[in-house]
A and B are shown apart, each in its own frame.
Chain A
Amino acid sequence: MRKMRVAIVESSTIIAEGVASLIGRSGEFEVVYTGGDMRQFAERFAVVEPDLVVVGSQAVGGVTLRTMYPELQDAALVVLSTTVCDEDVMRQFDGVVNIYDNQAQVVRKLRAAIEQSDTNPYSDSHDLSERERDVLILVAKGMANKEIAEALNISIHTVMSHRKNITHKTGIKSVAGLTVYALLNNLLDQNDVNL
Chain B
Amino acid sequence: MNSYKIDGNNRIVYSKDMKLIELIDTDYELLSILLRLDIQLPFGDVSVEEMCRRYDMSPTLFLMICQVYANADFEPDVESLDVADLQHIIRYLRASHRYYMESMLPSIAAGVERVLEGCDAKQNAILRKFYNDYAEEVKAHLNYEETVIFPYVEQLAAGGKREVAMADFMADHTDICDKVDDIKSIIIKYLPESCTTQVRCGLLFDLFRMRDDLSKHTLVELKLLTPVAIAAERRLQR
- Residue numbers of A with Cβ under 8 A of B are 170-174, 176-177, 179-181, 183-185, 190, 195
Does B126 reach chain A (CB closer than 8 Å)? Answer: yes
Within the complex, which residue of A174, A181, A190, A195 is in contact with B190, where a contact is CB–CB below 8 Å?
Answer: A181
Q: Is B127 positioned at the interface, with any CB of A under 8 Å from its CB?
A: yes
- Chain A residue, CB-CB nearest to B123: A184
Q: Give the contacting residue for A172; candidates B127, B186, B192; CB below 8 A.
A: B186
The reply to whether B186 and A184 form a contact with Cβ atoms under 8 Å apart is yes
Would A184 and B190 count as touching, CB distance under 8 A?
Answer: yes
Query: A176-B130, A177-B130, A180-B127 in contact; A185/B190 too (CB < 8 A)?
Result: yes
Can you list 30 A-B pairs with a CB-CB distance of less than 8 A?
Answer: A170-B185, A170-B189, A171-B181, A171-B182, A171-B184, A171-B185, A172-B181, A172-B182, A173-B178, A173-B182, A174-B182, A176-B133, A176-B179, A177-B130, A177-B179, A177-B182, A177-B185, A180-B126, A180-B182, A181-B186, A183-B123, A183-B126, A184-B123, A184-B126, A184-B186, A184-B190, A185-B190, A190-B125, A190-B126, A195-B129
- In the bound complex, how far is the Cα of B133 from the Cα of A37, in angstroms? 49
Q: Known: A171-B185, A195-B125. Contact between A180 and B130, CB under 8 A?
A: yes
- Excluding A173-B181, A180-B130, 18 further A-B contacts by CB distance (< 8 Å) are A170-B190, A171-B181, A171-B184, A171-B185, A172-B181, A172-B185, A173-B179, A174-B179, A176-B133, A177-B130, A177-B185, A177-B186, A180-B186, A184-B123, A184-B192, A190-B122, A190-B125, A190-B126
Using a Cβ cutoff of 8 Å, how many contacts connect chains A and B? Answer: 54
A-facing residues in B184-208 (Cβ within 8 Å) = 184-186, 189-192
Report B141 CB to chain A, min CB distance, Å.
Answer: 14
In the docked arrangement, what's the CA distance between A185 and B123, Å?
10
